[in-house]
Amino acid sequence: MGNVNQTPQQYSQTAQERPDDQESLLSSSSFTCEICIEEVLPPHKKFNNDNKCIHPFCTECMIKYIQVKLEENISDIKCPALTCDHSLDPLSCRPRIGNQVFDKWCDVLCDSTVLGFVRVYCPYLECSSLVINECGGDLRRCVCPNCKKLFCFRCKIPWHAGYRCDERGEIMDQNDVAFGVLLETKQWMRCPVCRQCIERVEGCNRVLCRCGVQFCYKCGRKMFHCTCHVPCWMFFLFFCMVLGIILFLYTGYRVVRSFL
């Protein structure tokens, strides 16, 4: 017969139900996709970016958009709307894009995470794990965190014990490998010229080989190329320079005093 007045409690409940009704109304109504510029009819819904932003994009266009970005190795995929700066959430997009695209997205995310680090793969075929140099610097002797085996990070091959990176070609058989392990265990050093192994019993790092070459036992370089310590001739040169400056100042002082 007439309108029924609502109580305040009934009115508040109706107000709370309105957002859900509006969302269901939007999902059930047709819209025009801004990517393909085609009218999308129910039951297709607008692509929802985890409620961060909702734009009139159909799901098929968004899946193709994500696939194109992943082919370009872009992990942080932005919303295609021109005025929107939100990033797409992989977890919220997973039910719509499928497992294959989602796995590709995860791989691109992992690659972008380690892109700033120097990385190699374990040279052992039964492992082949990714190893990252997080500390920086010139890394050579490395232990794989997965198989726990030694390998050379620079050469990307199993560890060449007792041989430098430029000498790994000298390893011909298992005897050379065993000798290299013994050389590394005993901490022997090779002469930089004749490549003979020398063992230091005592004394300083300045070693004289039987071929007449003096080299540093710590780094294996010739003494004039060694940077482990300052050579003696540099101390002598510094002393001569200081003495020359003192004599020059003293002579100048006496000349000035004679004119006075």
pLDDT by residue for the chain (260 residues), tens only, comes to 444 444 444 434 444 444 444 444 444 577 788 888 888 776 566 777 777 777 788 888 888 888 998 888 888 888 888 888 888 888 888 888 888 888 888 888 887 777 767 888 899 989 988 888 877 778 888 899 999 999 999 888 888 887 778 777 766 677 777 888 888 888 888 888 888 888 888 878 888 888 888 888 877 778 776 766 655 556 667 778 888 888 888 777 676 666 66
At residue 137, what is the residue type?
G
Separation of alpha carbons 46 and 53, rounded Å: 11
154 and 96 within one domain: no
209 and 135 within one domain: no
State the residue range of the domain holding 165: 117-186
How is residue 6 written in tokens? 């609502």
133 and 77 within one domain: no
Separation of alpha carbons 212 and 200, rounded Å: 16
193 and 171 within one domain: no
For residues 19 and 26, the answer to whether their CB atoms sit within 8 Å is: no
Residue 94 in domain:
yes
- pLDDT, residue 3, reads 45
In CATH, what number is assigned to the domain containing residue 39?
3.30.40.10
- pLDDT, residue 144, reads 92
Residue 14 in domain:
no
102 and 49 within one domain: yes
Residue 257 in domain:
no
Helix (H, G, I), strand (E, B) or coil at 76: coil
Among 165, 208, 205, which residue's Cα sits nearest to residue 187?
205
106 and 34 within one domain: yes
95 and 56 within one domain: yes
Separation of alpha carbons 69 and 48, rounded Å: 18
41 and 72 within one domain: yes
* Helices 99-113 & 90-97 angle (0-180, nearest 10): 150
Separation of alpha carbons 88 and 47, rounded Å: 11
96 and 45 within one domain: yes
Helix (H, G, I), strand (E, B) or coil at 52: coil
- pLDDT, residue 14, reads 43
134 and 95 within one domain: no
Residue 4 in domain:
no
Q: Is the whole-model pTM more than 0.75?
A: no
Final residue belonging to a domain, choices 113, 141, 164: 113
210 and 180 within one domain: no
Look at the chain and report how many structural domains it folds into.
Answer: 3
- pLDDT, residue 25, reads 43
